[in-house]
Structure 1
Amino acid sequence: MAISKNKMVSLTYDLRIGGAEGEMIEQATAERPLNFIYGAGTMLPKFEALLEGLEQGKSFEINLNSADAYGEVDENAIVDLPKSIFIMEGKFDDEMIKVGNTVPMMSTSGQRMNGLVLEVTEETVKMDFNHPLAGEDLHFKGDILEVREATDEEIAASVQGGCGSGCGCGDGESSCGDGGCGCEDESCSTESTQGGCGCGH
C-alpha cells in the first residue's frame, strides 16, 4: 500500500540541521516511530508531498530548505513584554521566566505558542516566538514502517486537532510545540499550561 490521503503512516527518521552531515537534533525510532495521517495537515506540507507514493519498507531522504520548513527568523516575533504579565500571586516567577527557558503562552485569541526568554530587565521580558527551527535547513533520513487505511476514529481525531506527533518539533520526543507568534504586548499571557499543538507550522 502506498502513502496517500487518509492513510495512517508510521515511519522512523533522523533529523539533522544543515544537511546530511549536520547535527542530529531529533530521532524517531522503530520503538517510538512517528505516526500520522497523511493529508490531515499535521505535518510540514513539503515533507508530506515528498513522501507521497512511498510504500512500506521503503527508505527516504528528504532535504527541506528553511522556506519549506519553519520559515526564516521573523524579527517581529521577538518582542518585549511587560514583566507584570508574569506576576503570579504578587510575585514575579523568576524560576520559570529566566534566560534560556521556553515558556508556554497564549494570545488573547486563544492561540498557543512557546516563547524563548532572551533577556529579563527591570521592566520587560524579551521573548522570541519564532519556531525553534526557524531559519534552519532540515535533512530527514528514515524508513517507512507501515502504511494502512486510517480508521474513521483516527481521521476524526486528526480533524479535531489531535496532535499525534510532530515533524521537527525540536525536542527529541516527537511532541508538538508551535511557535510563530508575532503577538503584541497586550495580547500575550501565561495562562496556558503546556505548549502548543500545531505540528505543521
Structure 2
Amino acid sequence: MKIDKHTVVTLHYKLQEKDADGDMVEQTFGSDPLVFLYGAGSMIPKFEAELSGKKAGDGFAFGIESAEAYGEYDPEAIAPIPKEAFVVDGELAEDILQVGRVIPMRDPDGNQLIGTILEIGDTEVQMNFNHPMAGVDLYFTGQIEEVRAATAEEIEHGHVHGPGGVSH
C-alpha cells in the first residue's frame, strides 16, 4: 500500500539542521517510530508531500526550507510580559520563572501561545514566541516501516488509535 490520504504511516527518521552534515535535532532509530495519520494536518505539509506515494521499505531523504517548516524567525515575536501575568493565587509563580523554560500562555484573544523565557527583569519577563525551530532549514532521512489503511474511527477522530497512537 502506498502513502496517501487516510493511511496510517509508521516510520523512523533522523532530523538534522540544514543538510545531511548538519547538527542532529532528533531521531527515532533505536526507539519508538513516528506513527501518524497522513492528511490529517498534524504534520508539516511539505513533510507529508515528500512522503506521498512511498510504501513500506522505501527510504527517504529531503530538505524543507524554514519558511515551509516552522516559519522564519520573527524578531517581533519577542515581547515583554508584565510580571503580574505570572501571579497564581495571589503569589508570583517563581518556580515557573526560569530562563530557558518553555511555558504555555494565552494572548488577549484567548489563543494559546508557547513562549520561551529569555530574561527576567524587575517588572517584566522577556518572552520569545517563535517556534524553537523557526528560521531553521530541516533535513530528514529515514525509512517507511509500515503503511496501512486508516479505520473509519481514526479518520473521524483525525488521529491514529492503538500502538503508536491514542488509546481511548
Q: Which protein has the larger Cα radius of gyration, Structure 1 or Structure 2?
A: 2
Residue 132 to residue 97, structure 1, CA distance change in 2 (3 Å): same
Identity of aligned pairs, percent?
A: 44
Distance in 2 of aligned mates of 1:100 and 1:84:
19
Unpaired stretches in structure 1, ≥5 consecutive residues: 165-201
Distance in 1 of aligned mates of 2:121 and 2:104:
20
The amino acid across from 2:35 in the alignment is N
Residue 163 to residue 102, structure 1, CA distance change in 2 (3 Å): farther
The amino acid across from 1:74 in the alignment is D
Contact 2:150–2:160 (8 Å) recurs in 1? no
| Deviations 1:86-106, CA, capped at 9 Å, x for gaps | 011222112211211111212
> Where has structure 1 moved over 6 Å in runs of 4 or more?
none
Residue 163 to residue 120, structure 1, CA distance change in 2 (3 Å): farther
Distance in 1 of aligned mates of 2:19 and 2:47:
15
Secondary structure (helix, strand or coil) at the match of 1:104 reads: strand
Contact 1:15–1:140 (8 Å) recurs in 2? yes
The amino acid across from 2:76 in the alignment is N
Contact 1:6–1:155 (8 Å) recurs in 2? yes
Contact 2:35–2:160 (8 Å) recurs in 1? no
Number of the residue aligned with 2:34: 34
What is the CA-CA distance between 1:163 and the residue it aligns to? Answer: 8.8
| Deviations 1:130-166, CA, capped at 9 Å, x for gaps | 10000001011100000010001111221xxx599xx
Distance in 1 of aligned mates of 2:112 and 2:157:
19
Contact 1:11–1:30 (8 Å) recurs in 2? no
Number of the residue aligned with 1:145: 145
Residue 127 to residue 91, structure 1, CA distance change in 2 (3 Å): same
| Deviations 1:24-70, CA, capped at 9 Å, x for gaps | 11112364111111111111011111110101100000101111111
> Is the counterpart of residue 120 in structure 1 residue 102 in structure 2?
no
1:167-186 matches, cutoff 5 A: none
CA RMSD of aligned residues (A): 1.7
Q: TM-score, normalised by structure 1?
A: 0.75
> Is the counterpart of residue 56 in structure 1 residue 42 in structure 2?
no
1:58-77 matches, cutoff 5 A: 58-77=58-77
Number of the residue aligned with 1:195: none
Aligned residues: 161
Distance in 2 of aligned mates of 1:92 and 1:57:
53
The amino acid across from 2:49 in the alignment is A
Contact 1:74–1:130 (8 Å) recurs in 2? yes
Residue 163 to residue 133, structure 1, CA distance change in 2 (3 Å): farther
The amino acid across from 1:11 in the alignment is L
